[in-house]
Amino acid sequence: MVQTHPDPPPAGPSYTPQYTLSGHSRAVTALRFSSDGRSLVSAGADGYVHFWDAASGAHQRALWCHRTGKPLAPAALTPGINDISLSPDGLYLATASDDGTALVFAADPLAAPRAQALIAPPLRTLAAHTAPVLSVAFGPKSNLLVTGSLDESAIVWDVRRGKSLRTLPAHAEAIWSVGWDAEGALVITGSADGLIRLWDASTGQCLKTFDNESNAPVSSASFTPSSFFILSSTLSSTIRVYSLHTAKVLKTLRAPEYVSEKFPSPAIVFAAPGLANGHAAPDAMDVDGALAAARVVAGSENGKAVIWDLQDRRVVQVLEGHEAPVVALAVHPDGRTIATGALEPDKKIKVWQWQQ
């Protein structure tokens, strides 16, 4: 279901609500835009993945990924999806689930009515974790995948063979966030133990550990596009930018509107709308330089999403509209569209469009 929103009166450059999407019967847990920007993909605690047209909000198809055996099984009995990743080459979709597996599907945008959800078998079933899989990320070359789990380990997988290459005995608590650097040489993990670790993807060696002064659980940890910096959010209502080389905190973002104490939610850095081609050059993410034309967006437990200017650390806009914590976020490749998703009882996706 797509609910459109009338354009509000112009009030200067800002993101305005474009439409609201209703498709999940339980919490919306993850959102991703395809690399070409044409599709928005959502995942939920109901075990479904939905594909939406990024421009119109039209529903393209539904994929029933993790299931108990019967389409009409109670939603509470269906293994939920905690995270999704789309391969950079656009060919694959990976899911991370409460059932302890990560599944790899063909990311084929063939249309299918929501009432006729596809029950396509996965191309690969990645099963080696001993507890729910909480996070998943394709490498930049689409040939490798990393998963993080409640079992405190991360596993690097060969996508083509569906085999684990190495297990990283990464942390002392659940791993809520995994990712890669731009070259695919480094894996990053963020954990409820309050630590962020960098790993050599080819050897499995831990290269560096980042901590925070409060030892708060790490909700998300990712490289900035230049891979020179680390962006993290923690369950202390704080976002930090670290230097990759010194492991020191360079910037700290907080705001009265930003509440993150109970539910992990990502923080995303992106190019400020209006840059050429909509993309920031690597030096535009230089947090110490004058060219830091970047924004950071994070979901909040008060139903809002907060956007900061990275250079001067001020809040530039607060997106309001959900009735439950915002735990899912995605930013379109051109930086002009933001998607937010919320927990129950809201269960909705809102899409926000940049207006000059």
pLDDT, one tens digit per residue, over 96-114 is 999 999 999 998 755 444 4
User: CB count, 10 Å around CB of 341?
Assistant: 29
pLDDT higher than 60, residue 71: no
Spatial CA neighbour of 343 closest among 236, 270, 267, 262: 262
Strand 315-320's sheet: what is its strand order?
267-271, 294-299, 304-309, 315-320
Every domain of the chain and the residues it spans:
2-355
pLDDT at 107: 87
Average pLDDT over residues 133-159: 97
Contact indicator for 53, 36 with CB cutoff of 8 Å: no
- Band of residue 66 on the pLDDT scale cut at 50, 70, 90: confident
Residue type, 73: A
- Paired tokens of 20: 């609201």
pLDDT higher than 90, residue 296: yes
pLDDT higher than 80, residue 282: no
What CATH number does domain 2-355 carry, 1.20.58.1290, 3.10.20.30, 2.130.10.10, 3.30.70.141?
A: 2.130.10.10
pLDDT higher than 80, residue 6: no
pLDDT at 289: 45
Give pTM, 2 decimals: 0.90
Q: What is the mean pLDDT of the chain?
A: 88
